[in-house]
Amino acid sequence: MSSREKVASRYDIWSPFYDSVDNFPLISRPQKVWRGRSVDMLELEGHELVLDVGTGSGYILPDIARRLNEGRVVGTDISEGMLRKAKERAERENVLDRVSTVKDDIENSRFGSEHFDRIITNFTFTTIPDPEKAIKECHRVLKNGGSMVILDTGKPEGFLSRFFFYPMMVSAKIFGRTHMDRDIIGLMEKRFHVAYREYYMQGMVYLVNCVKK
């Protein structure tokens, strides 16, 4: 099994329970705020074609769809289980007319070059087997001058946060094939101009807005 297939099957298994972890009391509130901020950062006017890479259960799809009148949001993932959940959410929230869910591997995307006006991705670049390849593909499918918003986890600064971070990092690697310690911002800087950044929990979570170079 390739690492891509292992990630897909891990998330297929997780898909029925994924939202219950997200709704866990201690993390649900900050997650909601951070995700909302990430969508704000797209600065949508309403006509854009937006790509949500690794949409998972489609948490941010309704929020994006409601900001679009002529535009559309495409949520992609390699896990069919997660994509089913994303589609169910869009149906439940009555936004399916502005939402598509598509099986796509961002390391080798099916979309044409310069196709999307904006790209957004929440907590996905730490799970993609080859993030450098994924960033290259995001750069390719994004229109010139387009922007990409990333919300994800990184290594925190403070001693106390690191104390909590390392056990979380190890369990995320084992159970979620997630690499919380990856330097995604560093990789982004090779192809994008990192125009704006925000850090939460001493850097354990970051939000960046990057413009295509």
Ligand X SMILES: C[S@@+](CC[C@H](N)C(=O)[O-])C[C@H]1O[C@@H](n2cnc3c(N)ncnc32)[C@H](O)[C@@H]1O
Binding site for ligand X (CB under 6 A): 4, 7-8, 11, 54-56, 59, 76-79, 82, 105-107, 122-124, 127-128
Q: Which is nearer to ligand X, 147 or 178 (CB)?
A: 178
As measured in angstroms, the least distance from the Cβ of 159 to ligand X is: 27
Instruction: Give min distance, CB of 191 to ligand X, in A.
Output: 17
Tell me the residue number closest to ligand X, measured at CB: 56
- Of the two residues 78 and 148, which places its CB atom closer to ligand X in the complex? 78
Q: Which residue has the tokens 């006017």?
A: 45
SS3 149: strand
Structure tokens at 63: 């929020």
Q: Which is nearer to ligand X, 30 or 158 (CB)?
A: 30
DSSP reduced 3-state for 59: coil
| Between 5 and 45, CB nearer to ligand X | 5
Burial of 159 (0-12, 13-18, 19+ CB in 10 A): exposed
Quote the CA–CA distance of 138 and 162 in Å, as a whole number: 31
Kindly state the smallest distance separating residue 124's Cβ from ligand X, in Å.
4
**Greatest CA separation found in the chain?**
48
Which of 65, 57, 63 lies closest to 23, judged by CA?
Answer: 57
Rounded least distance, CB 102 to ligand X, Å: 10
Ordered alpha helix ranges (H), 15-153 = 18-22, 25-40, 61-65, 80-92, 131-141
CB of 123 to ligand X, least distance (A): 4
Nearer to ligand X, 17 or 159 (CB): 17
